[in-house]
Amino acid sequence: MSAELPTPPRPVRADARSGDSAPRGRRVSGRPLPAVPPQHRPPEGRPLDAEHPLLPELEHRLAVALGGDDRFGPLATCWPSPAAAHAAVTKSFYTNNVGGLGPLRPAPGPDIACITGRFARIVPAMRVSELRDSRLMPCADEHGQQLLTGPIPLDRWIVFETEVDGRAYRLHQGQWYEVERCRRAAGAVRYAQPGIG
């Protein structure tokens, strides 16, 4: 999978001046940037490399989930980092031809039912590669003409988590991670979907 996060996630350190453990933004032109919302931070865990022996199994489970079957774990949408800053002003989305069936029509936001409805119509063996090849871009107008970002692979717009042999794995913004535990019991879908319709 293409990965936007080339380095392993770093632990969050407390702000020494305030004692606050919430992550802070960097200062640009004297103004602090807002803290990164939790759904946009990489999960705490170890990223899997492209040669990890479990990737075929994880991608098989993802393909099943893309078809709308949640037996292997929850699937949800999540604004990727390049689009998160535009969430409040996004009025529509532009997509390429997803699965040879035309563009997706996510409105008002990229909800998971829109994605699984399309991918259920795609042969399971092709779902993960189609997910990587598909692009979704937020737009500032209602007609999908004023793009707010460049093309963003659709795999960066979803979160999926599953357990294999007692270990938890999460797909987050196009990268697989081994995580301490699944958030399934804590409401992974709610974690992934704030502000997405």
Which of the residue ranges 1-10, 51-60, 112-121, 133-142 would you say has the lowest mean pLDDT?
Answer: 1-10
Mean pLDDT, the chain, whole residue set: 75
Higher pLDDT: 120 or 19? It is 120
pLDDT in tens, 43-84: 678 899 999 999 999 999 999 999 999 999 999 998 998 999
Strand, coil or helix: what is 56? helix
pLDDT of residue 183: 60
pLDDT at residue 2 greater than cutoff 60: no
Q: Report residue 144's pLDDT band, with 50, 70 and 90 as the boundaries.
A: confident
CA gyration radius, the chain: 17
d(CA 191, CA 183): 8
Please report which helix (H) or strand (E) contains residue 66, including its range: helix 55-66
pLDDT of residue 28: 32
pLDDT of residue 42: 59
pLDDT of residue 165: 92
pLDDT of residue 41: 55
Strand partners, 177: 47, 170
pLDDT of residue 107: 66
Q: Report residue 137's pLDDT band, with 50, 70 and 90 as the boundaries.
A: very high
Share of the chain above pLDDT 70, in %: 68
pLDDT at residue 124 greater than cutoff 50: yes
Tokens describing residue 136: 């979704």
Q: Report residue 190's pLDDT band, with 50, 70 and 90 as the boundaries.
A: very low
- Cβ atoms of 116 and 75 within 8 Å: the answer is yes
pLDDT at residue 160 greater than cutoff 60: yes
